[in-house]
Structure 1
């Protein structure tokens, strides 16, 4: 009892405050160290656990199936021996019986996809992760160092140019305001074909459809359909326009043509497969015709001699930033215009040529298409853009053509901005993803009797057939952040071209020919031989416009 009291008295009545403070400080210090130690151990365990889980997940997630290839160069040697490359890539997928594959070219993983479900997973569910483009020699040349919209990798420049294109050039109000220029080119097409039919009867559909599309985009872009001072009296293209068109298609063909230096950059400049020179020459020819017009127009706006917007070029030049200064430089305007001019002719012209070839072999489809035009429009006026919503069978034919005869084997590559998981496979950052236009449209899991040309398959419960395909069962104008920027313009051009050719003329094959050989070229998706047919007038002559 005494002892206990003494201790309590000693504890409570201690007269040494310094000792008490030291004791308390020591206790707090020990508690702080213990807490820090516990936190450190906890964080360390969490990190080790996360690393272990990640390591286990990485083991579970493998690359899509595909050939292993050699160190450093991957499957480059096989690619060089296997031209065209798109046939080689498709053959690999068939051998492996897979709808997603991975082929390593240099240090780049090239992911090919033939399944609409996987395509939607990439282009819809993970669209933002695959919103970039590869960096290639051709793109660098054509885009003036990646200053454009369509083929420029994801970044601030891409976002700037896409905003300009989408909000200023291709918005609905601008599409409506430029209707008259498109109408002029529709009449010019009818007048030009009328002259050919009257003079010789023979018409090269590839030549006509390509130049109609070229004329239309030149009229929208520059306000003129020709680069020549002297126009052809029958309405056909001049030598300058033909040279320009040839350069455009060569540029398109070799922009994403599996150039060896794009996968092994140390070979850039050696031009081992000749792609680099073709791109430089094609770009230079287009610049030869575009740049003088652009430079002169910029000067006119600067000097106040032009103040009204009449075409796309005027829009590019007149756009201002927040401080009232020109938003775009000439170095941005020139390659962007070149890119947009190149983007128009190939898809519509290819589709109309193939559609006509298919219909000549199936006269019942041709007859039904013409009957629809006669029912909707009649024979007392020419078909106009306002008739497009009612021409559902024509659009079903075009949809079927996009499905069965795409313009290219693959779409423009998308690049993964970070590691991703697709269909249970690991897709590394920087991988190039290619959707197979060819196999998407012929996938037997999606399409019954996929190799047959059946426009009726595209009719559904909707009252109007459209050319866009958002479910990626085939590709018409693509979709997503890097999809086609102008489906309305594309729909107007291709449908009007198709309708005017069917309404104004009756078509048959030349003498001694009974069928068109529906075979693709050995190196691309075009018809192996240009479609040539003989036309006859089917409307009163006073309805046909004259060349202006």
Structure 2
């Protein structure tokens, strides 16, 4: 019997046996708890909004009161984090606003993040993933990218097609002159997009117009429809559609995106397919033809057995992709730059003075002048930094489990490098919301370039999935801005005292197209198409 609460020998024996039996269980419990804790720490996801059971964060995508990019950037600012995680269905969406973490994606883990997501829009525009940029990692992507880098945007082709680009620079000068001499207001958005559309149509199809030319050099109804389809494609390509994360919902068109995507594809089919089909037939009849454009090059490629390397669908898909990849950044940047210059005339005067010093007024600015137009390129870099066309870059998809900034990134995650988050990061840029081209003028360098390898902002993306057309993009952006500034004095329309620099609700373009007044500042003979060619020499 126990006395004063002290167990007797029998009780002590039972306790000892129970302890011996329970000890392994207790040790196993502690071990599993510690192991689970270590695994949890090793698989710690970036911070994100609290998900709901079963649906995760999809309700915030559906019922949000502001665009997704604004909502997620606001969350990241509140949490003071440079990387986040939002769950849409089974997909982890990982936005990033830090250059250091962005470099982990495009350099350190470049191979891991070398894929693209599948979606209704990407599938439609790439005709079932037959192109390069929109196609997930694999043999088809490698094949198409190799063709682009070796045959389309290589230095040899860039030099070969110089005359086509120069012709369109002359053409846009003539078009704006026709507006100016009639004292008409100039819609800069129309001008910029018309120029970009002309350049890429000329390079791909050797055509400025699909049907009859317009007498004043402006876009016709077909060209307007074509350019609108390209920008519609860009708007809905990676637009956080519900079906991007719940593929079983494709066809229900719950958010209306599919209607616009299908309409854009029909426009491309109407204008592109007859040209491609006719050209394929011409090459069947005569394989000794000399290539005149990108389309000819894509058709003439042969495999080791002499058969066409690309199918007609691959050619059509790649033609669409080349076009939509070329039009947005140059046109958006130039529109914003001129808007900022109206707000700050000193910037405008510095850019004009540089052109007058480097080029003068007795000839037209040419691509050969680009290396010396450093202030002009600084303006374009600043527009890419502060006023990108889209909030996020094209998504990278993780092909295996990995880590970023110490956080676990599951296989299949969509990693989004934030153009607005990087370019306006106050930890990187002093007065990030101010347009200051001078910040890009490095006294230690003689040549300003538009590329930004350190990912402090995104101009042309880098890495395995980076932009391969840096030379073309640079030429288009600089020549458009240079010709507009060299050729004309710009002012606000009569009765307007200020330019409203308000961003669009959907994306980052100007909410209202920029409309200005142009006055020729060169000898009048230099504005005719014939004299443009002479003045270019």
Structure 2-normalised TM-score?
Answer: 0.91
Q: Is 1:372 paired with 2:381?
A: no
Q: Is 1:457 paired with 2:433?
A: no
Q: Would the aligned equivalents of 2:187 and 2:515 in 1 still touch at CA under 8 Å? A: yes
Specify the alignment match of 1:235 in structure 2. Answer: 217
Aligned-residue offset at 1:405 = 0.4
Aligned-residue offset at 1:426 = 0.1
Aligned-residue offset at 1:71 = 3.3
Q: Is 1:476 paired with 2:456?
A: no
Aligned-residue offset at 1:56 = 2.6
Q: How does 1:92-491 map to 2 (within 5 A)?
A: 92-228=75-211, 230-304=212-286, 307-460=289-442, 461-491=444-474
Distance in 2 of aligned mates of 1:305 and 1:156: 27
Q: Would the aligned equivalents of 1:61 and 1:424 in 2 still touch at CA under 8 Å? A: no
User: Secondary structure at 2:84's aligned position in 1?
Assistant: strand
Q: Cα–Cα, structure 1 residues 128 and 378, in superposed 2: closer, same or farther, change >3 Å?
A: same
Q: Would the aligned equivalents of 1:468 and 1:487 in 2 still touch at CA under 8 Å? A: yes
Distance in 1 of aligned mates of 2:456 and 2:469: 20
Q: Would the aligned equivalents of 1:201 and 1:536 in 2 still touch at CA under 8 Å? A: no
Distance in 1 of aligned mates of 2:392 and 2:282: 42
Specify the alignment match of 2:491 in structure 1. Answer: 508
Aligned-residue offset at 1:94 = 1.6
Aligned-residue offset at 1:53 = 7.5
User: Secondary structure at 1:112's aligned position in 2?
Assistant: strand
The structure whose Rg is larger is 1
Distance in 2 of aligned mates of 1:169 and 1:158: 15
Distance in 2 of aligned mates of 1:524 and 1:448: 24
Aligned-residue offset at 1:59 = 3.0
Aligned-residue offset at 1:524 = 1.1
Of 477, 482, 489 in structure 2, the residue corresponding to residue 494 of structure 1 is 477
Deviations 1:482-536 (A, max 9, x none): 1111010000001000000000000000112122111101111110110000000
Distance in 1 of aligned mates of 2:123 and 2:397: 16
Q: Would the aligned equivalents of 1:131 and 1:481 in 2 still touch at CA under 8 Å? A: yes
Deviations 1:192-237 (A, max 9, x none): 1111111233100001100100000000000111111x11010001
User: Secondary structure at 2:529's aligned position in 1?
Assistant: coil
Q: How does 1:23-42 map to 2 (within 5 A)?
A: none
Aligned-residue offset at 1:143 = 0.7
Specify the alignment match of 2:4 in structure 1. Answer: none
Specify the alignment match of 1:7 in structure 2. Answer: none
User: Secondary structure at 1:101's aligned position in 2?
Assistant: coil
Q: Would the aligned equivalents of 2:287 and 2:300 in 1 still touch at CA under 8 Å? A: no
Specify the alignment match of 1:42 in structure 2. Answer: none
Structure 1-normalised TM-score?
Answer: 0.89
Distance in 2 of aligned mates of 1:378 and 1:390: 13
Q: Cα–Cα, structure 1 residues 118 and 473, in superposed 2: closer, same or farther, change >3 Å?
A: same
Distance in 2 of aligned mates of 1:273 and 1:94: 28
User: Secondary structure at 1:497's aligned position in 2?
Assistant: helix
Q: Is 1:530 paired with 2:513?
A: yes
Aligned-residue offset at 1:353 = 0.2
Q: Would the aligned equivalents of 1:115 and 1:440 in 2 still touch at CA under 8 Å? A: yes
Q: Would the aligned equivalents of 1:79 and 1:88 in 2 still touch at CA under 8 Å? A: no
Distance in 2 of aligned mates of 1:404 and 1:115: 15
Aligned residue-pair number: 499
Distance in 2 of aligned mates of 1:55 and 1:312: 57
Of 193-202 and 505-514, the range deviating more from structure 2: 193-202
Aligned-residue offset at 1:287 = 1.2
Q: Would the aligned equivalents of 1:114 and 1:435 in 2 still touch at CA under 8 Å? A: yes
Q: Which runs of 5+ in 1 are unaligned?
A: 1-48
Distance in 1 of aligned mates of 2:148 and 2:288: 21
Distance in 1 of aligned mates of 2:155 and 2:40: 47
Specify the alignment match of 1:545 in structure 2. Answer: 528
Distance in 1 of aligned mates of 2:396 and 2:331: 25
Specify the alignment match of 1:28 in structure 2. Answer: none
Q: Say what the alpha-carbon RMSD is for the aligned residues.
A: 1.7
Specify the alignment match of 2:27 in structure 1. Answer: none
Distance in 2 of aligned mates of 1:512 and 1:227: 38
Distance in 2 of aligned mates of 1:457 and 1:304: 54
User: Secondary structure at 2:142's aligned position in 1?
Assistant: helix
Q: Which runs of 5+ in 2 are unaligned?
A: 1-30, 533-537
Deviations 1:308-327 (A, max 9, x none): 11110000000011111110
Aligned-residue offset at 1:306 = 6.3
Distance in 2 of aligned mates of 1:64 and 1:487: 33
Q: Would the aligned equivalents of 2:329 and 2:389 in 1 still touch at CA under 8 Å? A: yes
